[in-house]
Structure 1
């Protein structure tokens, strides 16, 4: 004991110059004072280190004598730098077990330190050491519970923050980040502890404006990210009542950054969000990406950043799933409610994944009956299609008519598979209305009409009357396209609407031939227009494309397409290619040569097909 006292307090006659209280230093020149401070700090630090190594200083002696006497000197020294250094020394040189068993005593000194002491760093280092100690062996965890380490640390942090009234917000948040890190490592199963730390942070932030300080917001992001990194599951974070309350204190820009962190965590861990309530809570967390926040209009965003954010939200929607159709429909309705507040720039990103998520549910319910009566009715394809129709309609007002048209056609196919003819017809009607009223660009019209033709070709739910109505509209639109080549290709594509291989009732050879002849007339008109405009006719590509359609239907058994018709078209193409007014085109020549080789191959192969080609000269 005498040795301990000598190392701690030295010779009483020397104490004013080298003792702990001497770290205050007299009022001499600053440079000299700082030098003496440094020397005294090193001396005392070495003394503490030696003290920790002395044999015979066990936990009991440390608890009853060493720590109380050292802390007494630390508190009485009144010098902020000395107090910080000495507290740091105590934490670093003595064993972790000693700190755990004397935690209340050590923490009790913290509020008594000078208000300007960097106590957040001291406590952070203490919690880091203790959490590392807990992680070193499962055998020590009961000791943490026995001494109620979390409660003592939490209480001490609260007292320190209360005592240091001038502590910046960032300092307080840093303390809570350290406490949360400690909690997640030592008590990962105690979500109530985690929520308690978040709640204490909310209490500190309460009444303050949204954080603009970059260091403080960085610490808030660290605080919110810690549970995600620990549990690898946003669903766990959604059970924390104070989690969204902390996010509410972020400025709009940081709120969006944190929202992206949350989405990335979900995607990285393939987390499935399985209930409407969880989706509701999640969308509340990421609302900065879903809609315009006050004072942060979407127009101010960088275009690339905006696209990245909205694509992330689109991917997120695909992570919402439940095997129960009723709950899945609730999820879809919840998503719809939120994304519809996103504004015209967001809807083209967020509506498509919602539509396809709903269509996936429709496929699961395929074949079920039921009308749309009320919200209490069970989930049925008809009910979902009504929801989809309303959702897609919003895109036409954005406006984003081309995307809306594509989605209407996707829904029409799904309704076809569900054998719902009126629903499929309604979706086609909406697509045609968009085509007529909203799509004015010639290139967009070409793309749209081919999508319509391709989708209509695959439909088998329509009766004769409805199919004829839709087919008539499609062929009429095709013939009215702006450019002759586009007209020609759309018209010969319509020929497939009258001859569908897997539908015996749709094999109208005469109307197929009418489409092909009409396409030939348009191709001929295109040649003549090229001659007038340039003094030479254009390539024969359109004629070769039509020839290939003739061959296709000839092999499918369409009696209207005869070998003599094919022979006549071949002679026409050959004549055009040999004409001096025709513009040479290597690609057209190669296309025609390949087609002729195919005919020759079929003749040489023999059999029934070969006999059909015998009369054609190739």
Structure 2
């Protein structure tokens, strides 16, 4: 019967509805006959019902629906046959002969399969004979779609009737070899019918037929599922009897739809042990497929299946990943890939080749962790393909670039470790084939991999190699060079955080620079600075700042070594100075000692015996310490010079950041005892303040940092400290806004009175700062909203200095200021913020009262 035409496709719903009605009608009459034990009538109505399956106008989906409804009715007939045999009304052989009297082939075979299942169940005949008869009789239906559903019913009806190992049908009914033979024969015929569907009908409907075949493919795969469920099929039988026949069927069908589907079914339904035992023959088959078949998909499916098994075994307590994936597996896959490349050279697109290598690489990483030779081999294959002769002139398209990026990203898993990333020999060459944007993405993956590994970068060579791999994150590309500034100015706000996130990740690399030798670490910092410096102003603001702080930590470490060496030298000098006083004066008394060293035995006083070892041990210990403490090649001054150069280079573009860094460097230099260097750092901060900070808010923040740094300093000479404190106060007095001037000048009063009695204590200068801040606050009172809170803040400073026992701050100043604040508050309008002001003032007064500074009501 022909395939449904275009008019039939338009009436599918009506055809299905009518066929379903007839099935239900004949099913009803069939069950009525069964109720009255009318076997002949039941078979007649069953035949009429099954004749609806002879239709050729339904599509596969609709035919499947009709088929399932028919089988639902047919199950009642199956139960009826079983009851007849059980009651002894009919024997299975009699039923088997009687149903063959049906005139139409298709209904007769459905009935024959139904009775055959009952026949096997009664064990009145060997199961192997019945199965052989059924699978041969089913050849009577050669219509592809009807034959597919018929054989699917055969497989379903006999699924639990096979003489499998451990089955009740084993023995006289046959053994597992008969069960395997039945399933394989049914599979072979099913696949043949499925392939024939491709050639049924006109060529213009080829795509529709391909879609229908895809809908029906599960009917073919079900046989392979049945085969995998047989208990008697072990590795040996699979190798010798099962897989060769399956692969023969795959190769001989020569169908571009059937071949990949069947191989995928084989991959999915059989266990990993079977695949590992037959990997060579399976891969050999992959090289014999039709040209239209995408072999990469099949190989990738097999590799993923084996990799998943290895991963599960590795995560289990037994940890048998290596045993489940022998080393020959990678060699086998690689050999298959190489053969495909040789046989289909020029026929396989570059993107597909890269996908193939990505799948092979992923398999190697999953099954053989740590085998970098496999990774480098895959990289080498990709490089060889990209180095084609003649050389490729056009850049990679998006698909090709995406696949190459995937190849490069696969080894960058966090578990790979730093050593693994740096040993990828062809990584840099492959990256060069990518567009700049994708290079940045790959470089970002490298950075994340290195940070995830957390292993130290402990040599200049490792730093150089790593930075050569992440070059796109450290400098602008060719696209950025031509129009980068314009693109950045018109970029969306979302792009800025992305770039900042990238550079912050790169900056974190500075924390991996580690070495016990300070000289080696300094050389590492120098190499990092050279690379970071190529990034331009948009990058150094992120990358150089952590390097500055790492260098300051190095300066502290070097200074500690220098201090220890100086202490050692001082001890040695002290010992040298003590030697003349400790020498025994009488020369004659030395002779016994000299004789003793020559071997003569002389008795010595007890005191000399106790002192001699001590005298001998002291130089030995000193010598040992002198050999262990080696003077560093790069002094702490050199490290501070290194930091000074970095911050100076940033000052023009990032003044506020550089100012804070200079102040931080000044604090470290002060702690190390380098007052001249500390003074230079502070001076540079002041220069930036004067020349580069026009913004009043930035100036205010900078002054707070400057005051804080000066308060933390300990090593400045009095004249230097006075000059710096005075200059800071002058800056405060020149702020743009009067309230800022007032607050900042009052804050600067802290610079002239230290808690440490040994340091600066100039009460007169403190009083000058506070009185000047009062004048500024008084000048602000002419505004529409007088800032009375400024007076309260100044009062806090007066109270603080009074508590520090500054003799220039007397109670009369506090009393006068309290009176002034009371007057202003009484005259103050009810405005927003008054409640907060009064609460602040009450707290200050409570403190004054608790300290009994002045009498308060």
TM-score (structure 1 length as normaliser): 0.84
1:191 to 372, 390, 398: 372
Q: Name the residue aligned to 1:305.
A: 498
Counterpart among 768, 784, 787 of residue 539 in structure 1 = 787
Is contact 1:84–1:122 with CA below 8 Å preserved after alignment? yes
User: Who is 1:223 aligned against?
Assistant: 407
Tell me: CA distance 1:20–1:575, structure 2 relative to 1, closer, same or farther (3 Å).
closer
Q: Matches of 1:57 and 1:539 in 2, distance apart?
A: 94
Q: Which moved more, 1:276-285 or 1:122-131?
A: 276-285
Distance 1:474 1:237, change over 3 A: same
Q: Deviations over 1:44-88 (max 9, x none)?
A: 655655666678776556546655565455445433223223333
Q: CA deviation at 1:430?
A: 0.8
| 1:402 paired to 2:402 | no
1:111 maps to which residue?
287
Q: Aligned partners of 1:400 and 1:323: how far apart in 2?
A: 33
Residue 608 (structure 1) aligns with: none
The residue aligned with 2:821 is: 573
Shift in alpha-carbon separation, 1:329–1:308, aligned structure 2, 3 A = same
| Alignment partner of 1:559 out of 776, 786, 807 | 807
Q: Is the 8 A contact 1:87 1:122 kept in 2?
A: yes
1:502 to 1:277, Cα distance in 2 relative to 1, 3 A = farther
1:336-351 to 2 correspondences below 5 Å? 336-351=529-544
Is 2:550 aligned against 1:357?
yes
Aligned to 1:416: 670
Check 1:502–1:168 CA distance in 2 against 1; reply closer, same or farther (3 A cut): farther
Q: In the superposition, relative to structure 1, how do residues 91 and 450 fare at CA in structure 2: closer, same or farther (>3 Å)?
A: closer
- Is residue 253 of structure 1 aligned with residue 437 of structure 2? yes
Matched position secondary structure for 1:112? coil
How far 1:354 sits from its partner (Å)? 1.8
Secondary structure in structure 2 of the residue aligned to 1:560: coil
Equivalent pair of 1:478/1:487 in contact (CA under 8 Å): yes
Counterparts in 2 of 1:8 and 1:617: CA distance versus 1, 3 Å: closer
Structure 2 residue corresponding to 1:388, chosen from 629, 643, 666: 643
Structure 2 residue aligned with 1:102, among 263, 278, 287?
A: 278
Residues 104-253 of structure 1 aligned to structure 2 (within 5 Å): 104-135=280-311, 136=313, 141-142=322-323, 144-145=325-326, 148-164=328-344, 165-206=346-387, 211-214=396-399, 216-229=400-413, 231=415, 233-253=417-437
In 2, Cα distance between the equivalents of 1:187 and 1:272?
25
Structure 2's unaligned 5+ residue stretches are 1-176, 564-630
1:332 CA drift (Å): 2.0
Counterparts of residues 453-468 of structure 1 (less than 5 Å): 453-468=707-722
Q: Deviations over 1:528-573 (max 9, x none)?
A: 4x3xxx4xx7132222222221211111111111122222222333
Deviation string for 1:385-405 (max 9, x for gaps)? 1111111112223x2111111
Q: CA RMSD in A?
A: 3.6
Contact in 1 for aligned 2:415/2:453 (Cα 8 Å):
no
Are 1:91 and 2:271 matched, yes or no?
A: no
1:596 corresponds to 2:772: no
1:606 maps to which residue?
A: none
Aligned residue for 1:197, secondary structure, equals: helix
Structure 2 distance, partners of 1:303, 1:67, is: 58
For residues 438-449 of structure 1, what are the structure 2 equivalents within 5 Å?
A: 438-449=692-703
Q: How far did residue 452 of structure 1 move?
A: 1.2
Greater Cα offset, 408-417 or 306-315: 306-315
Contact in 2 for aligned 1:23/1:40 (Cα 8 Å)? no
Q: Taking structure 1 as reference, are residues 70 and 549 closer, same or farther at Cα in structure 2, changes over 3 Å only?
A: closer
Q: Report how far residue 576 of structure 1 moved.
A: 3.5
Q: Does residue 509 in structure 1 map to residue 763 in structure 2?
A: yes
Match status 1:18 vs 2:192: yes
Question: Which structure is larger by alpha-carbon Rg, 1 or 2?
Answer: 2
CA distance in 2, matches of 1:319, 1:116: 51
Instruction: Give the number of equivalent residue pairs.
Output: 592
Contact 2:763/2:808 (CA < 8 Å) preserved in 1?
A: yes
Q: Which has the higher contact order (CA 8 A, sep 6+)?
A: 1
TM-score (norm 2): 0.62
Change (3 A) 1:522 1:113: same
- Alpha-carbon spacing, 1:489–1:59, altered in 2? closer, same or farther (3 Å): closer
DSSP 3-state at the match of 1:482: coil
Does structure 2 retain, via aligned residues, the 8 Å contact 1:315–1:353? Answer: yes
| Kept in 2: contact 1:9–1:19 (CA 8 A) | no
Match of 2:473 in 1: 289
Q: Confirm or deny: 8 A CA contact 1:479 1:490 kept in the other structure.
A: yes
Secondary structure at the aligned position of 2:535 is classed as coil
Moved more, 459-468 or 320-329: 320-329
1:339: how far off?
Answer: 1.7
